[in-house]
Every structure is written in C-alpha cells, then in structure tokens.
Homo-oligomer: A and B are copies of this chain.
Amino acid sequence: MRLSKRGEYGLRAMIALAEPAEKSDAPQMMQIKEISLREQISPKFLEQILLTLKNAGLLHSKMGVGGGYYLARSANEITLGQIFRVLDGPVAPIKCVSQMAYEPCGCPDEQTCGLRLAMSDVRNAIADILDNTSLADVTKRQSTVRKKLGIR
C-alpha cells in the first residue's frame, strides 16, 4: 500500500505552496529550486512532477525571470485526494472497487466476492480521508502542532 516518491514529493510540494507566507495570508509563488532545496528533492525530478500537476490543472505557473509555481485554486479547494490521483493513480487497492477506474478483477462472482467487499471498505476509508482533507487542513494542522510544541 505504498505512496510512490512522485506522490510523496508532489504532496510535499503542494503543501509547501499552500503554506501562507510570513506575515501574509496569501498563498505564495515558489520556484522549483526553492521547493527542491527546502524539501530535499532532486530539482529535475520535481520539475516533472510540478509539470504534471500543472497539466492536471492543480497548479498555475509563470514563466521567465521571477516566475514560479502557485496553486491554481485556494488551499481549501484542493484536496490530497486530487493530488494523489494525478500522481499515483486510483486510490482503490484493487481495480474492481475503484470509483475512478473500475475494471473487473476476474473473480467468479463480483457481487459475492469476499475480498472485494473487504477491499471496498478499505478504498472508502482511504478516499474518505484523502478527499476530505484539503491543503488548508494540512497547513492548519501543522501550525496547531507547532504552537502546541512551542516551535517557531
């Protein structure tokens, strides 16, 4: 049940972009280099990932000097589920329970397949979290934890 590096890096980058800049509440524009440095990700690899996210409509970019990437929508309108699916594909552990990419899995009778029933529960549990957690939720939670620990 693994999140790929692409997925991990993409999620980290999106969270970084969702963090409000110091003193300001506006989401920031950041450059590949900035993010790659801060999150310790190979800049060339990150480049690909951000491009994918951009082509999927989750990021916008500005080319040229002083350019960079920024969120296409506000942080509370982008969910972890959206990002995950772009980079890592369907959430479902097995195709026959996928909402976004259903395919029969070859069991004799799908309706009564016990594995399918159980995996369907798993899919729903994962999707429930990922689709109901926005980037804003994540950054909010981060700063709550920081405050509680007295950090920064």
Residues of chain A touching chain B, judged by Cβ–Cβ distance below 8 Å, are 1-3, 8, 11-12, 15, 38-40, 80, 88, 90-94, 105-109, 111-115, 117-119, 121-122, 125-126, 128-130, 133, 138-139, 141-142, 145-146, 149, 151
Report the separation of the CA atoms of residues A120 and B86 in the bound assembly, to the nearest whole angstrom. Answer: 21
In this complex, what residue of B is CB-closest to A8?
Answer: B94
Looking at chain A's contact residues, is the secondary structure mostly helix, strand, loop, or mixed? helix
A82–chain B nearest beta-carbon distance, Å: 13
- Partner pick for A145 among B12, B90, B105, B111, CB 8 A cutoff: B111
Report the separation of the CA atoms of residues A128 and B122 in the bound assembly, to the nearest whole angstrom. Answer: 9
Q: Please list 11 pairs of residues, one from A and one from B, whose beta carbons are closer than 8 Å in the complex, sorted by A's number.
A: A1-B88, A8-B94, A12-B115, A15-B114, A112-B146, A118-B129, A118-B138, A122-B130, A125-B125, A125-B128, A125-B129
Report the separation of the CA atoms of residues A112 and B129 in the bound assembly, to the nearest whole angstrom. Answer: 19
Q: Which residues of B contact A121 (CB under 8 A)?
A: 129, 133
